Chain A
């Protein structure tokens, strides 16, 4: 569907946040379907593959992209607040974000094309709940908190408690995301951001990695988030048509922070799990010494590391080096 096709849907644009919340409450009470439209960069595209809706059951589209109450970035002490209507472009150009949340800026630069960055929002990324969401990965590393609001009031939910399943969250039908709050690490904390898609840019992530380190006593315990967080839950869903799921669902590498290490940061966003059995990383000699050798780098049965995430120590080091 293009923007032109929007006219097929019943549509409204509330003038302010209370009006939007009132509308949501009314529709939720009547069990009616509502779509909150911000950038529309997911929703419009998904219309193409959504099951055809008959006219009577089309959801009401509520344009929240211009609501004043959802806009703006603010910094209060060490707490960064990003309004739900802030676009990736605004985010990565905001001097406070660039200075204090460079991980967010780096992530925002990698989302889609410039046109997508100019429309898409972090909150939309959160609400869509796609396991390939770049923004969610970065927010997980930053241990973000979501400010949810309804006519019943506001509540704060940590990102780690937001999702309940594939594209499912604790967001109630009468609620919207008002803002994202981040308790920032000290300025200059090392970070790394990397996404892997099918091509160099403008591709959906196969896997993304956000890493952040807080330097204490000259040592850097790391917090990192590999997205999606739990492979079995996120990747085996039959709705996922993209190739690559199988490769990634085969083995479940733990997030970096789960490595049994005294340096595990309290900022870690995922509960510590032991590494899978047999998860020793291949020795350096078997992987790094093939220069000049004709025997190949992947001898059969070498216990190859999917995306290298199992080689935690070395990867952390590399990521941290990359950001320095």
Chain B
């Protein structure tokens, strides 16, 4: 059987999604089902005095749930500060306070208008600066959720003694995921316990939440992933809340309940990318050799802790970029504000700090008067170098090749040297970024997680992969089949993929952190290889054909399955206390080049070309892999150029797709994607993560290109035409 890894096997889930036969959660109907809805606060901060139901309204057939109905009113994520339903305190403007369910959606809609919340408003904390000033304390003692300090060498103290010192402040705004399918969940109870099915990334996260709130054992909670229309991290921690809400309504009503968010409710209430401010002071020699850097990272965590400490950690660990520094200090702080909790989003903190360090590299190059890519090349991490956490890079560093290929393909050097090209009222420029992204969980994460995968032999030389890794549109189903098929020596279509449900898949860990192929894929490979050996041995021992041996094993429940647990690579050492050691088992590397045209009358920016050279270790499926790169890059271009979340008093003013503007295919530049393979010895076939990497470098490359075209130095995304206009009025030209 010819290997399938390395081939563009068509997506297995594609036909059903294209033909419309795939069943998403809103397509599911259960007998006697009620529709659920959420009553939310509309002030950012306040004391909840009461929930009043209009006595004049007919409440028959309507189920009402409040905090009093919640067994343990705390969503267990990292901490337990977030209530399932607010009881006394309102901490953001879309805080869920009560739940309603009714068979008739129109009556439900009317009932919502007859619930009144009595709230005594309090002054809200709405920005990072408000939070740090701590005039109002919403998270004792100082509004800080989490603080990290990371040092290397003499720390940032050496900056001031350097020949050339450059300082800069870089900011980024919130970003909404805009997955095509909003959040949704359907729930019911029976003698076995709680059942939920919905749009989600991490079945075992939801299970943990339900167990904690309802006090149930593992086998009392069944969580199943419905076909999911995109996640990007937005369905990592948030669906737990929906599952809890749907289950509360189902429990009280004794009926199945479906809870589906409309787009506006989804944009308002669900998580966003953390807004950030990053302050950098760096020192280097006159020839551009980087020496020392001092970085302060500030993230706005929103109202509750959720995943903020981990997002902040990844942000801090990527803050020094893909470069060698002798001395480093990174201080990272996440603060509490009265905005909806910010959470997981593709890149998970790294896009914010990569944006900052890459813009800073351009600033250093400008100060020194040298080409920005020359500066980067001079200081790139190489094999054998140590990173800011003191990790020695022992293998799989393809960054040099990425830089060379992206620059050659785009003609960067010539175009850059030529200067901005102005034709009529349109200026054209080119810019680049170089970056890395740690694949898999940070530090000791995978060691604690102990992800597991099962592969089963089925009759007729077929097999089935059972894993909690979900396909949310990225192609997991397809690439896991490829990996298992090659390890078993069968065709891809001889491998099935079990619907992820906690009832019958082992806990492989969450579908996050670019870990699916690299970590879970390696367990799939190991389990499938074990079965191949088992089949061979059975054939030898019993003197039967391979097919007969396969069927024999498939019929024997004791021998049909290989259940394998992840073993972290030996020699990986991480110290959480000092924040030093091997931060990630491997890194993806990349170089992005963007070419833009800026209309000098309207300040519209059009990305006219984009080149990405990406080191993914080993390409499992070229089309899917390039799809990740292009999709992630377009999401980064959206963050850079169009996606601006406008808020006032903690409320979102543009929570709709008519005014929160994501790029369409017309805004997508022609992509040239170059896949580089510097294999990682522990990934399946050498593969590393690719899901998040392309989100990191698009924004700084685009900003650098705009700067090249117009001379405007822009240190804050997003960059809408009005932002460029404002910058031009301020004379931010170099």
Give chain A's interface residues, CB within 8 Å of chain B: 2, 4-5, 7-8, 45, 48, 52, 54-55, 196-204, 206-207, 241-244, 246-248, 250, 287-301, 304-309, 315, 318
Contacts and interface: CB of A to CB of B under 8 A. Distances in A.
A307 B601 contact: yes
A215 B733 CA distance: 42
Interface in B619-675: 642, 644, 646, 648, 653-656, 658-659, 661-664, 666-667
A241 B647 CA distance: 9
Contacts of A207: 602
Contacts of A202: 664
B725 A306 contact: yes
B425 A308 contact: yes
Given A243-B644, A297-B427, A299-B733, A308 B600 contact: yes
B711 A296 contact: yes
Nearest to B734: A296
A291 B421 contact: yes
Nearest to A311: B601
21 contacts: A8-B110, A198-B721, A204-B658, A241-B654, A246-B722, A247-B721, A247-B722, A248-B722, A289-B422, A290-B422, A296-B711, A296-B733, A297-B422, A298-B712, A299-B731, A300-B733, A306-B725, A307-B601, A308-B600, A308-B602, A318-B424
Nearest to A289: B422
Interface string B696-734: 000000000000011110000000111001101101011
Contacts of B709: 297
B264 interface: yes
B419 interface: yes
Contacts of B654: 241-242
Given A196-B721, A200-B667, 18 more contacts: A45-B656, A48-B264, A54-B113, A196-B604, A199-B663, A200-B664, A204-B658, A241-B659, A244-B720, A244-B721, A287-B600, A293-B419, A296-B711, A297-B710, A298-B731, A300-B733, A304-B725, A308-B602
Contacts of B648: 241
B124 interface: no
Interface in B566-613: 600-604, 606
Contact of A244 (B418, B711, B722): B722
B252 interface: no
Contacts of B646: 241-243
Nearest to B648: A241
Contacts of B113: 52, 54-55
Nearest to B265: A48
Best-buried of A52, A242, A243, A295 by chain B (most CB within 10 Å): A243
Nearest to B429: A297
A152 B427 CA distance: 57
Interface in B75-131: 105-106, 109-110, 113
Given A242-B654, A301-B731, A201 B664 contact: yes
B420 interface: yes
Contact of B420 (A247, A291, A304): A291
Interface in B213-268: 262, 264
A200 B710 contact: no
A298 B658 contact: no
B666 A294 contact: no
A199 B726 contact: no
Which applies to chain A's interface (DSSP): helix, strand, loop or mixed?
loop
Contacts of B664: 199-202
A257 B654 CA distance: 34
Given A5-B109, A204-B659, A296-B711, A199 B667 contact: yes
Nearest to A248: B722
A197 B599 CA distance: 13
Which applies to chain B's interface (DSSP): helix, strand, loop or mixed?
loop
B601 A296 contact: no
Contact of A298 (B106, B666, B711, B722): B711
A247 B564 CA distance: 59
Contact of A243 (B109, B604, B722): B722
B685 to A, nearest CB: 39
Contacts of A287: 422, 600
Interface of B: 105-106, 109-110, 113, 262, 264, 418-422, 424-425, 427, 600-604, 606, 642, 644, 646, 648, 653-656, 658-659, 661-664, 666-667, 709-712, 720-722, 725-726, 728-729, 731, 733-734
A55 to B, nearest CB: 7
B667 A304 contact: no
A95 B419 CA distance: 47
A297 B659 contact: no
Contacts of B418: 292
Contact of B601 (A5, A48, A242, A305): A305
B565 to A, nearest CB: 47
Nearest to B366: A294
Best-buried of B264, B422, B648 by chain A (most CB within 10 Å): B422
Contacts of B110: 8, 55
A297 B600 contact: yes
A304 B422 contact: no
Contact of B661 (A54, A203, A309): A203
Contacts of A304: 725, 728-729
B422 A288 contact: yes
Contacts of A295: 711
A48 B656 contact: yes
B105 A4 contact: yes
A117 B606 CA distance: 25
A318 B600 CA distance: 14
B362 to A, nearest CB: 14
Nearest to A8: B109
A78 B529 CA distance: 80
Contact of B106 (A8, A204, A301, A305): A8
Nearest to A4: B105
B642 to A, nearest CB: 5
A199 B711 contact: no
A203 B722 CA distance: 15
Nearest to A113: B664
A304 B732 CA distance: 12
A290 to B, nearest CB: 6
A317 to B, nearest CB: 11
A310 to B, nearest CB: 10
A296 B710 contact: yes
Contacts of A296: 710-712, 733-734
Contact of B602 (A200, A290, A307): A307
B725 A247 contact: yes
A197 B722 CA distance: 11
A127 B425 CA distance: 36
A173 B666 CA distance: 42
A98 to B, nearest CB: 23
Contact of A290 (B420, B424, B604, B661): B420
A305 B729 CA distance: 9
A196 B602 contact: yes
A288 B418 CA distance: 15
A52 B112 CA distance: 10
Contact of B419 (A244, A248, A291): A291
Contacts of A206: 602, 721-722
Nearest to A240: B653
Nearest to A296: B711
A7 B731 contact: no
Contacts of A294: 419
Contacts of A288: 422
Best-buried of B419, B601, B648, B721 by chain A (most CB within 10 Å): B601
Given A206-B721, A247-B726, A297-B711, A242 B600 contact: no
A243 B667 CA distance: 20
Contact of A291 (B422, B601, B642, B666): B422
Best-buried of A5, A246, A291, A296 by chain B (most CB within 10 Å): A296
Best-buried of A197, A200, A204 by chain B (most CB within 10 Å): A200
Contacts of A306: 725
A246 B644 CA distance: 15
A69 to B, nearest CB: 31
